Amino acid sequence: MKVCYLLAMTVALSVSTSALAADNKAQALFKEGNCNNCHNPTDQTVGPSLIEIADKYRGDSGAQEKLEKKVRSGGSGSWGVMPMPGTRQSISDADIKILVTWILEQKAKPKADEKTDAKSDKKTK
pLDDT level of residue 70 (50, 70, 90 thresholds):
very high
What pLDDT shows up at residue 12?
53
Report if residue 53 sits inside a domain: yes
Report if residue 70 sits inside a domain: yes
Once rounded to an integer, what is the mean pLDDT over residues 29-36? 92
CATH of the domain at 71: 1.10.760.10
pLDDT at 9 over 60: no
CB 63 within 8 A of CB 57: yes
Report if residue 82 sits inside a domain: no
CB 19 within 8 A of CB 13: no
Tell me the three state secondary structure of residue 86.
coil
Tell me the three state secondary structure of residue 84.
strand
Report if residue 50 sits inside a domain: yes
First to last CA, the chain: 55
What pLDDT shows up at residue 64?
97
Q: What is the mean pLDDT of the chain?
A: 81
Number of domains in the chain: 1
What pLDDT shows up at residue 92?
95
Domain that holds residue 57: 38-76+89-106
pLDDT level of residue 122 (50, 70, 90 thresholds):
low
C-alpha angle 106/26/16, rounded to 5°?
A: 75
User: What is the Cα–Cα distance from 102 to 88, expressed in whole angstroms?
Assistant: 19
pLDDT, tens only, 50-69? 999 999 999 999 999 999 99
C-alpha angle 44/47/51, rounded to 5°?
A: 55
Instruction: Find how far residue 32's CA is from the centre of its chain.
Output: 16
Report if residue 11 sits inside a domain: no
Report if residue 65 sits inside a domain: yes
pLDDT at 14 over 50: no
